[in-house]
Amino acid sequence: MKFADHLNAAEIQKFNQMGRAGRNTDKNKDNKDEVKPKRKRPENLSFRDIESLRGVNKSVYTRKNGAIRRK
């Protein structure tokens, strides 16, 4: 069951007013004056860079007849 199902309309209204009063404090106003960090630009990677990150070009070793060989 939801929290609001146990309250009548007057109690719900009081509850909502308490929430609004908490948002309008001086503490929150100070946070608005702070400088937000700049957003990082996405790094443009070349096709080779992406392949190397995925490990496509790395050596693959397998076991054949007891010996370890490179494919």
Domains of the chain, residue spans = 3-70
pTM: 0.32
Give residue 34's pLDDT: 76
Q: Which residues does the chain have with pLDDT short of 50?
A: none
Give residue 24's pLDDT: 57
Check: CB of residue 61 under 8 Å from CB of residue 71: yes
Structural tokens at position 36: 């937000």
**φ, ψ for residue 42, nearest 5 deg:** -65, 140
Cα distance between residue 15 and residue 4, in whole Å = 10
**φ, ψ for residue 70, nearest 5 deg:** -90, 140
CB-based contacts of 61, cutoff 8 Å, min separation 6: 68, 69, 70, 71
Give residue 32's pLDDT: 62
